[in-house]
Structure formats: C-alpha cells, structure tokens
Amino acid sequence: MSLKSSNNSDSPTGSLPKSPTGIAGLDEITGGGIPKGRPTLICGGTGCGKTLFSIEFVVHGALLYGEPGVFMSFEEKSEELALNVVSLGYDLEQLQRDKLLKMDYVRIDRSEIEETGEYDLDGLFIRLGYAIDSIGAKRVVLDTIENLFSGLLDQGILRAELRRLFEWLKGKKVTTIITGEKGEGTLTRNGLEEYISDCVILLDHRVANQISTRLLRIVKYRGTVHGTNEYPFLIDEAGISVLPITSLTLEHDVTSDRVSSGIPSMDKMLEGKGFFRGSSILVSGTAGTGKTSIAASFVHEACNQKKRAIYFAYEESPQQIIRNMRSIGIDLQQHVDSGLLQFQASRPSLNGLEMHLLSIHKAVELYDPQVVALDPITNLITVGSMSEVKSMLIRLIDFLQSRQITVMFTALSLNTIVNEQTDEGVSSLVDAWVLVREIESNGERNRGLYIMKSRGMKHSNQVREFVITDEGLNLVDVYLGPEGVLTGSAREAQQLQEQTGVVLHQNAINRKDREIERKRFVLESKIASLKEEFESMQDELNRTYVEEELRKEVMEKNREQLTRNRHDE
C-alpha cells in the first residue's frame, strides 16, 4: 500500500487541523484526513467496510503517525476482530502489547439487563476514559455505538448521554470515528448524524450487472473543501484503497522526449521520432487488423531500449501472445525472461472495473514501468457501461501521465464504418490516435493505417498500407492512381509497372547520351580542321611578308650599287 499519501497533520494555517487516516486516496479527497480532535461518523449498510475502515484508522495511527488508539467494539469480540484483520498483516495483539492499541469489547445483552429507574452511561465514560488515559490515545473508534440502542430501552437517556459522550470526546481532544448502520431514509438507524456535525462519510455497496462496486462519499465535512463525488473504493489484501489515488487536477508535468512506436515507418509519420513520452495512444480498428501486433511491437521496442513494460491482456493469455508474436518476428519471451516485461492477464469479468483499475495501479506502483499496454480496452465494456469505462480510463490516463508512463490502448471498433467519435469516447482523452482499417477492393482486404490525431506534433496525414511480415510490421505508401487508393496486389502491380517504366526510361537516356557523344566528336574534328586551315593561311601570309622584306632589301642594295657605280665614273 502506498504510504506516500499526505502526511500533513500540521495543516497550513487557517484550515482545520486534520488527522490522516493513512487510507490510500481518502486523505487526498479530504485534503489531509478527518477532523483532528473531533468525531467523524462513518455510516453504511451491512458489510460495506465500516469496521475495517475504522480498524485501519487506528492501526495506521499507531504504526504510521505515532498516535495510539482505542478500539471499542460493540459488535465483535476483540479476538474475532484481530483474527479478521490478520490477513491484512495487522497484528492487533502485538499492538496491544506495545501499548499502541487498546481493544475493548462492550457486551450488552438485553436479556440480562433489567432497567429499574434513572441511570446514565457513566460506566462507558469511565471505561473509555480509562482506556484512553492508559495508553495516551489520540484516536478512538466506537464500532457500532448504535448497538446501545438495542441493549438499553430508555431512548431519552441514551440520546442525552450520547450527546454528552461526543462533547466529552471533543473535550478529550481525541479524533473519533463512530460507525453507524444505515437506516431507512436516514444516514443511520438511530439518527446519530444529528449529534455529529463535523464530518460524515457514507459507504455504499452496490451491485449492478452482478458486479459489485463499493463507493465512498463525503456527505459533510464542516470547515473544509472536500471532493463531493462518490469515489469507488476497494477492499483487498492490502486493505482499503479509495480511488482516485492520483491527484484530481490536470497538473502533471509534460516532456517533449519521444518514444518509438517500434515501427520505424510509423515513427516517420510522427516527425520521424515517435510518440511523446508519457502520452496516451489509442490504436483502434476492426477485428484482425493487427492491433495486438502494434501493441506488442511497441512493448518490444521499449524493452529493447531497456525500459520496463507491463502488458495488460484482457483477451489472450500471455503464452498465446508470445507465440503469436513470434510468428511476426517479435520475441517477447526474451524480455519476460530478462525481467523487463510483465504480463498481467485477466478476464474482464473477473472483477469490476474498479478492481481492474486498482490492479493496474498496484502493478504499476510495484513494477514502476515506463511503458504500459492495455489490450484491448473494449473488452472492459462487458463489465461496465460506456460511461464507467470512460471514467475509469480517464483516471487511468491521469494516473499514468502523472508518472510519465506512456500507455497504449487498443480498441476494437465493431462497425466497419469509421465512427470518429465512439471508441469508448476515449478518443478525446488520448494524445494520439492511430486507426487501422480494412480497405477492401479487387477481391482482397488490406489494412490501411493512418494517424487520426497526434497532439503537439506534425504528423503525416497519409493513409499508409500496414503490412505484417515475418520480420515484423511495416508501413508502405499506398498508391493513389486514377482508380483510387491502391493497396495489396494492386499496389504491387503498380510497383512492377513503375519498375518497367524505369528500365525503359533508363534505356532512352542511354541512347541520347551516345548521340550527344557522337555529335561532340564530329564537332571537335571540325574544330581541328578549321584550326589547320587557319594555320596554313597564317603561313601563307608570313611568307608573303618575308618575300616583301627581301625584295625591299634587294632593291635597296641594287639602288646603292647603282649610286656607287655612278660616282666611280
């Protein structure tokens, strides 16, 4: 049992001092416990857990809060009571020896008693006072003081004395729990609620559809804010737990860390990274669309990352799941063996919804996983109505998110037409919703997967074909052609066709390349011949120029010769 529950006996100034009950969940609802130093009435029908409730109050007081208690029973003998709570691990005998608890069984037998005139209950006062003083008790339980009404005839005296008793207890500054049997139209058979004005808690036990639910409601709590709803509570081997164990607010931390879905191509649809850590994911789809496989792959991936996971199976046994998943290349057994994966399988009809919720709570608290899968939540409908399942899931999601646990639910949608708002009405609660649907065409059924929503991230709006292979799960792009969405063999045909196209195209490209090469060759040879032509022309020009020079020189020489010859004459 969680003992983390509030320990704020010294409440903030201004608010009523409270005495923690140590009962998981109750102290959260009441904001710290029941009023300190005052009487609290706990009423309810037979077998609703009043006595257990009050025993837990004194035992927790003695063991956890250092407040010894007196348990005065008007119904059961001390030994019987002690025997009843042995299964909860409470050793009342030892507590009595340690002076932490004082049990007193008050026996009133109508047939033995003769009333001969005026009397009072001083005997009870002395007895109780002596018990309180002998161990310095801070807590007192009177279970069920109403039995006095059947033992004593004079109602007038009794009522006056009870009023005096409660006042006296207040004066003693002990926190008292008085239990009372539920009456017709009143909270208690003898109207004890008239005397106890500080705090009244009503316990109820209802059976609907052959499944019982225990409910707790705070009818009245003077001077404090308290939850007013009916809270389901459970009695099991750890005692009483009131739900919700978690906070009632929406204040949990968020993170932008991601966890992989275990299917790389699905992660790609989610910005390539996967889901947010601590988010809730709903996978819904019709029968046989591979919801369990998605959940198993998610858990498998988490375990590969050395994260702890719990798989709550409500449909198949663990062995069945392990065997089936092996066929698609997911070996869950290794994770079970290495202690990373835990299976919690139960039939939904085993318990009421609340019991399921509590068993989830307990498993999570015990094992502290980072990833949880519930497969499928739709089966829980068999034990509760839609709204009950929804309220349970709200609380579950709330609880898991507060612990930063990523949860994946699978849900079976019964109708083939996708109804966007059903699915247990949880679609609005979850952070991500993956929908797997059948696409039936060309005489075959294929699975189409799309992400309906994923809060806080860009996600693909594409329908992908979801294929389950021997190597695991994969998502394939579907083909959108003139005939619509192509999946399965139609998609493969399209793929082949495209491949042919690619080969042809390649061939065409090669031909063009060669032509260009040829053209270039031609062009280059042309350039070479032109170049040669130019060089020969240049040579020609050079020759003419040289001849011209030579002629000029020769002529010059000749003229000089002529001149010289004339002078010689």
Partner 1 sequence: MIEPAKLSDLESDDNNGKTYELRLFVTGASINSIRAIANLKHICESYIPGRYSLEIIDVYQQKDLAESEQIIALPLLIKKFPMPQRRLIGDMSDTAKVLKGLGISTKSE
- Map residue 564 onto helix, strand or coil: helix
Stretch that binds partner 1, among 117-125, 297-305, 399-407, 540-548 (CB under 8 A): 117-125
Closer by beta carbon to partner 1, 113 or else 530: 113
Instruction: Please report how close the Cβ of residue 126 comes to partner 1 at its closest, in angstroms.
Output: 5
User: Is 118 among the residues that bind partner 1 (CB under 8 A)?
Assistant: yes
Stretch that binds partner 1, among 126-134, 437-445, 475-483, 553-561 (CB under 8 A): 126-134
- CA nearest neighbour of 491 among 436, 434, 437, 447: 447
Q: Figure out which of the listed residues 17, 129, 183, 425 binds partner 1, where binding follows CB under 8 A.
A: 129
Q: β-pairing, 432-441 with 34-35?
A: unpaired
Q: β-pairing, 69-73 with 101-105?
A: parallel
Instruction: Please report how close the Cβ of residue 110 comes to partner 1 at its closest, in angstroms.
Output: 11
User: Is 130 among the residues that bind partner 1 (CB under 8 A)?
Assistant: yes
Closer by beta carbon to partner 1, 195 or else 298: 195
User: Is 160 among the residues that bind partner 1 (CB under 8 A)?
Assistant: no
User: Is 119 among the residues that bind partner 1 (CB under 8 A)?
Assistant: yes
Instruction: Please report how close the Cβ of residue 199 comes to partner 1 at its closest, in angstroms.
Output: 26
CB 444 within 8 A of CB 232: no
Helix axes 386-402, 353-367, angle to 10 degrees: 10
Locate 448 and state its tokens. Answer: 């189409």
- CA nearest neighbour of 163 among 121, 207, 123: 121
User: Is 131 among the residues that bind partner 1 (CB under 8 A)?
Assistant: yes
User: Is 137 among the residues that bind partner 1 (CB under 8 A)?
Assistant: no
Locate 210 and state its tokens. Answer: 């052959």
Q: Figure out which of the listed residues 152, 363, 476, 485 binds partner 1, where binding follows CB under 8 A.
A: 152
- CA nearest neighbour of 423 among 280, 317, 301: 280
Cis before 376 (ω within 30):
yes
- What's the CA gap between 307 and 369, in Å, rounded? 7
Count the residues of the shown chain that bind partner 1, applying the rule CB under 8 A.
Answer: 25
Within 13 A of 361's CA, how many CA atoms are on the CB side? Answer: 26
Closer by beta carbon to partner 1, 172 or else 307: 172
Closer by beta carbon to partner 1, 142 or else 303: 142
Q: Figure out which of the listed residues 151, 183, 329, 425 binds partner 1, where binding follows CB under 8 A.
A: 151
User: Going residue by residue from 30 to 59, which x/- string records binding to partner 1, judged by CB under 8 A?
Assistant: ------------------------------
Q: What is the DSSP string of 26-91?
A: HHHHTTSSEETTSEEEEEESTTSSHHHHHHHHHHHHHHHS---EEEEESSS-HHHHHHHTGGGT--
Closer by beta carbon to partner 1, 102 or else 308: 102
User: Is 272 among the residues that bind partner 1 (CB under 8 A)?
Assistant: no
Which residues ranging from 306 to 325 are in contact with partner 1 (CB under 8 A)? none
Please report which helix (H) or strand (E) contains residue 394, including its range.
Answer: helix 386-402
Residue 497 burial (CB count, 10 A): 12
Q: Figure out which of the listed residues 13, 46, 116, 256 binds partner 1, where binding follows CB under 8 A.
A: 116
User: Is 127 among the residues that bind partner 1 (CB under 8 A)?
Assistant: yes
User: Is 156 among the residues that bind partner 1 (CB under 8 A)?
Assistant: no
- What's the CA gap between 483 and 492, in Å, rounded? 14
CB 20 within 8 A of CB 38: no
Instruction: Please report how close the Cβ of residue 62 comes to partner 1 at its closest, in angstroms.
Output: 19
Closer by beta carbon to partner 1, 26 or else 121: 121
Locate 436 and state its tokens. Answer: 């797997």
Closer by beta carbon to partner 1, 119 or else 521: 119
Which residues ranging from 73 to 112 are in contact with partner 1 (CB under 8 A)? 104, 106-108, 112
Q: Figure out which of the listed residues 3, 113, 254, 504 binds partner 1, where binding follows CB under 8 A.
A: 113
Residues of the shown chain interacting with partner 1 in the complex, contacts defined by CB under 8 A? 104, 106-108, 112-124, 126-127, 129-131, 148, 151-152
